[in-house]
Structure 1
Amino acid sequence: MESAPRPFGFWTATALVMGGMIGSGIFVLPAQLAPYGWTSIAAWIVGVGGALLIAWVLARLTAAMPEATGVVAICGAGLGPLPGVLVGWSYWVSVWSANAVIALTAIRYLAQFVPVLGATSLAQALSATVLLWLITLLNLGGARLAGAFQVTTTLLKLLPLAAIVLILAGVALSGGGAFHAEAHPPFAWSQLTPALTLAFFAIVGFEAASVAAERVRDPARNVVRATLFGLGLTGVLYIVVCSGIIFALPTAEVATAQAPFAVFVERFWGHQAGLATAAFAAIAAIGALNGWTLLQGEVPLGMARAGLLPRWVGRTSARDVPIPMLLLATGLASVLVLSNATRSLGGLLDFMLRLTAAASIWLYVGACLTALAKRIAPVAAVAGLGFAGWAMWGAGLEAAGASVVLMLTALPLYWLRFGGGGAGA
């Protein structure tokens, strides 16, 4: 065991929240949201508002049961073993599927400096697989090392966001001549749901501190503060940065940009600044990959320690690292990447983003139902359920159905733990 069983303080927990959110999504979303114009701003506001409702529910649950290993264990205690296993397993699926997407996105940015990494679809897949395993090796060193890396990369990934904010401030102070609001599509109710679905992809991850509560000192205090502060700050940055890029450039130019952040910075500060932005976007993706890799071991570990999975699932090293489940998750992510080596990257990213969101939403549903069962933050829980249902509908039938199928693969482990396999299986 490590000398400090709970190595994460407030700032590391906040870095885990922000690092999980600020990954690959925000650096490509201006291109995806540009066709929605003014509706995209509403989507961000609604998405962040809905996430804050759910975050408040997660925070209150953690504060009420700080001894729990995480929000998955809390769901198991509140709803029963089977719902707890299904919710936790679905979230675990969302974590390693997200890692596959994040690794591919990181390689896209790194390929701007080392072209051979992205020369072909196969090269991209192989490079992404190598990156997955490098970050896994880092996490095998223990939660303290992974947490320190997370703090560093979170600070670095804020730099391109800060650059965008500075440019936007300069444009505004100079009279706002670069903004052409009238040239962008007006708000449309019919477009809000698909725009919300896209925006929500970049918001998923705000629950990271609640999931890894076992690693956080004084979780009743620090998880609450880190979740709300990290989500609030990141949400404001998202709204300002993404909307600013969309409205400061022609819609067609943003919508077709492979790296909209780099395009925007290059327009105002030159080619070298654009390349620097691409470099920091790669750092952002790698930092997010580190945070999600940590969680892909912590989720099943917390479930095993809470008695929801067989004890062997929670076996750890001398550094308290759940090596078997960490390696299994990275292996599954690698299979996902390599099995799609010949598919269009755009098509893979679109489906996997929707699958990741759908699989994550089941955790939010479980948390809100647990809060209602325990009469904790009932108003926020009801509102959070409504928002989660809306987001699931927006993810589409294919992604929602796939999330259910993958969730049900946890049933054999449930039967081993609570069926004839015995509690000590």
Structure 2
Amino acid sequence: MSGASVPPASAEPKQVEAQRGSFGLGTASALVVGSVIGTGVFALPSALAGFGPISLVAFALVTVGALALAFTYQALTKRIPGSGGPYLYARDAFGDFAGFVNAWSYWITAWAGNAAIVVAWVGYVEVFWNTSHDKGWSIVIALVGLWIPAAVNLSGLRGIAVIQGLTTVLKFIPLIFMATAGLLFIKSANFGAFNASGGSAMGAISAAGAIALFSYIGIETASVAAGRVRNPGRNVGRATVLGTAACALVYILGTLTVFGTVSHGALLTSTAPFTDSANAIFGGHWAGDAVAVAAIISGAGALVGWTLVVGEMPQAAAADGLFPRRFAADSRMGVPAFGIVIGTVLASALTIVSYTSFATVFTTVVLLSVLTAVIPYLFSAAAQLYWLMTEGRRIRAGHLARDIGVAAVALLFSFWALAGSGYQAVYYGLFCLLLGVPFYIWLKAGRGEYGETPVRPHLATGILPTEGAHR
């Protein structure tokens, strides 16, 4: 892109002013846990029931991949501590277009994921109200569930921090119980056939793994909002690893409890499986109602966290001219208000379409958001491998082999999850992804750029690369 000037330092404020953040390690960890543990985990056992207990094998494999990604993001954040996460890593390693593809894909993940979260959230709200599951009222409840978190975000960072801390504590109480004491009530007769899908074991594991991956989407949220975190090079990586490990523990054991306390047939049609499990353990409805309340609180916390991410990702790209400038500015309350509003509008539209067009609403939206999330995961792992292969000579041999192994596992895991997403998700996801190409052309033409990419300062340090270095 000869003829274009190097952007001023102020165009990338979060990359060079990472210390201005408002979140400490505790809040950053709560953001990870709050974003990862939404209502997805509370609805997941029903989505996995069609595969049978073999899906627990998939869950274990997904957990290994998620931890590999968490360690990869820990290393990446130490290298580039600014807001934007996967977008920054891809752009710095592979150039503007790769950065745009990641920002665009992850942006879709964020608002499409909010649609999936709110669909599961509605299932637990309807334990108390609209028990007949009237579709019109379900849509109304879903829209309320999307716009209240948007209002919390628009009120400023202090409100976000308070909500994340409170909801993280409240959501963990029932999940920890189900993942520990609940195991004592398991009955083997409830599990049904090990592979209930009727297909091959590998096919069932791959397909179940793609659904299970949705439970871990959000492990990167601290890196996406790193510009809001104090000492991000230290705190973001720790928050990512600690949050992922905590979620993995309650996920696998909690899902095992549900599989073993609710009959397979009942689980297939359940809209609130953890509620059904609690009722089966204690009898009556009070325990299930308590779990439903926890799921509602959990979903609200996740939606608050993800609504912030909906604004953060395009804001980071807009600072580099790879998204419209309207996304770049903070409001008077210090939040990316334009991105938050646009993302919530899109999530609302997808929710309405899902309820009116898809037979299996939650699973369909989950697979779409998984597909668009896997692409940034894949590029992030690839960026880490690229840097290790080109700059790894400065790392001790033992540590280099370890880091390459972890990044390779994260990369292979991303390909595996992509393959398991299914034809429908690939169709819709690829269509949404490719819609970004004309959008990118419009942005590039609007800046009057052509030819080769100009030499830019390193995103983290502001230092120009030496002759012969990448870009």
CA contact (8 A) 2:190 2:260 kept: no
Give the 3 Å change call, closer, same or farther, for CA 251–332 of structure 1 in structure 2: same
Aligned pairs for 1:315-394 (under 5 A) are 315-343=329-357, 346-375=359-388, 377-394=403-420
Q: Distance in 1 between matches of 2:260 and 2:171?
A: 23
Partner Cα distance (2:61, 2:133) in 1:
39
- How far did residue 22 of structure 1 move? 1.0
TM-score (norm 2): 0.82
Report the equivalent of 1:163. Answer: 177
Alignment pair present for 1:40 and 2:55: yes
Q: Distance in 2 between matches of 1:197 and 1:69?
A: 24
Which residue number corresponds to residue 432 of structure 2?
Answer: 406
Deviation at 1:190, TM superposition (A): 4.1
Structure 1 residue 290 corresponds to structure 2 residue 316:
no
Select the residue among 177, 180, 187 that pairs with 1:179. 187
Q: Distance in 2 between matches of 1:203 and 1:197?
A: 11
State yes or no: 1:212 paired with 2:225: yes
Preserved CA contact (<8 Å) 1:122 1:342: no
Q: Structure 2 CA distance, aligned partners of 1:238 and 1:227?
A: 16
Runs of 5+ in structure 2 lacking a partner? 1-12, 14-18, 196-200, 393-402, 450-471
1:415 maps to 2:448:
no
TM-score using structure 1 length:
0.90
Counterparts of 1:84-233 in structure 2, within 5 Å, are 84-115=99-130, 119-168=133-182, 170-171=184-185, 178-180=186-188, 184-186=192-194, 188-233=201-246
Contact persistence 1:17–1:208 (CA under 8 A) = yes
Is there any run of 5+ residues in structure 1 with no aligned partner, and where? 172-177
1:62 equivalent in structure 2: 77
- What letter matches 2:430 in structure 1? V
In the alignment, structure 1 residue 240 sits paired with structure 2 residue 253: yes
Q: Is the 8 A contact 1:43 1:199 kept in 2?
A: yes
The amino acid across from 1:82 in the alignment is: F
Task: Provide the rounded CA distance (Å) in 1 between the counterparts of 2:352 and 2:262.
Answer: 36
**Counterpart-to-counterpart distance in 1, 2:439 and 2:203:** 42
CA distance in 1, matches of 2:447, 2:129: 51
Quick one: which of 268, 274, 277 aligns to 1:255? 268
Return closer, same or farther for 1:387/1:340 CA change in 2, 3 Å cut-off: closer
In structure 1, the partner of 2:35 is 20
Q: Please say if residues 190 and 261 of structure 2, whose CA atoms lie closer than 8 Å, have aligned partners that are also in contact.
A: no
Cα distance in 1 between the residues matched to 2:447 and 2:321: 13
In structure 2, distance between residues paired with 1:369 and 1:13: 25
Greater alpha carbon shift after TM alignment, 27-36 vs 98-107: 27-36
Aligned-pair distance for 1:10? 0.9
- Give the CA deviation at 1:354: 0.4
1:162 deviates by 2.3
SS in 2 for 1:308: coil
Structure 1 residues 161 and 337: alpha-carbon distance in aligned structure 2, compared to 1, 3 A threshold: same
Aligned to 1:395, the other structure's residue is in SS state coil
Q: Give the C-alpha shift of residue 167 in structure 1.
A: 3.1
**SS at 2:42's partner residue?**
coil
Partner SS for 1:258: coil
Matched with 2:322 is: 308
Q: How many correspondences in the alignment?
A: 413
Percent identity of equivalent pairs: 32
Q: Answer whether contact 1:102 1:286 (CA < 8 A) is retained.
A: no
Is 1:26–1:202's contact at 8 Å kept on the other side of the alignment?
Answer: yes
User: Are positions 1:82 and 2:97 aligned together?
Assistant: yes
Question: 2:349, 2:319 → 1: CA distance?
Answer: 28
